[in-house]
Structure 1
């Protein structure tokens, strides 16, 4: 599986994800000279280059109908995360959540039929599930283009 990491995701996650996801091609937009490229152009270009997954911290994409439409048209799985804490503590929690969830998510995406939308909820030691997954063909969220 080819995974593209958005520029708003710390580049420090790249090597950890590569080690956790052997056999998968994990790239950061800065590596392929796409830093600064707007998502409306990046998403179709990524799909054309064979990327199947887009990992971003940009939760606001789903509030923008044109970006949501571009995500849908790309056909790529969309994985997003956020964090509620500022500074290094927030960054550490967000990175921990992504690193902990990605092997599980990729395993599920490998067997998924059709495009999936994934929201990594965060680290919570008492939580049995660390992310939500939606099949927009079966249960389209309210923001998903009809």
Structure 2
């Protein structure tokens, strides 16, 4: 599957996605020299270049009737996520973690699709991704006494 990352997707996600999506071609708009190109033209050109998926951080594209029509016309699967938390680098890490962890499942589902799909990747909530134990205060069963 040919996957294109839109300009608003951090370019740093390219290598991790290529790693988890082996066997698929993952490119970034910036690496193609398409930076600054309007979404309508990115959609048209991506379809002409036989991309099948557009990943974007621009969830408002679907709220714009002209852009929504261009997405429909392109036939591209539209995968969106939102950097929900304005936490600087931490917010970026949460957003990109959600994208990298979801995309193998998204791509597998899209490979089975019989037509265009619209996908929304759910965000990872801050602070809920780990558990810390103080073994001095509450030693787990496996902790030597």
Q: Deviations over 1:64-92 (max 9, x none)?
A: 00000000000000000002211111111
Write the distance in 1 (CA, Å) between the matches of 2:117 and 2:13. Answer: 22
Q: Aligned with 1:27: secondary structure?
A: strand
Q: Higher strand proportion, which one?
A: 1
User: When the two structures are aligned, how many residues end up with a matched partner?
Assistant: 126
- 2:82 paired residue number: 82
SS of the residue corresponding to residue 3 of structure 1 reads strand
Alpha-carbon distance in 2 for matches of 1:123, 1:85: 10
Distance 1:41 1:95 in 2: 25
Distance between the aligned counterparts of 2:84 and 2:58, measured in 1? 13
Q: Which residue is 1:26 aligned to? A: 26
TM-score by length of 2: 0.84
* Residue of structure 1 equivalent to 2:96: 95
Give the unaligned 5+ runs of structure 1. Answer: 127-146
What is the TM-score when the length of structure 1 is the normalising length? 0.84
Listed as ranges, the gaps of 5+ residues in structure 2 are: 130-145
Aligned residue number for residue 65 of structure 1: 65
Q: Distance in 2 between matches of 1:39 and 1:95?
A: 21
**SS of equivalent residue, structure 1 residue 8:** coil
Root mean square deviation of aligned Cα: 1.2
State the alpha-carbon separation in 1 of the partners of residues 124 and 108 from structure 2. Answer: 19
Contact 2:80 2:120 in 1 (8 A): yes
Instruction: Write the distance in 1 (CA, Å) between the matches of 2:115 and 2:32.
Output: 26
Higher-Rg member (1/2): 2
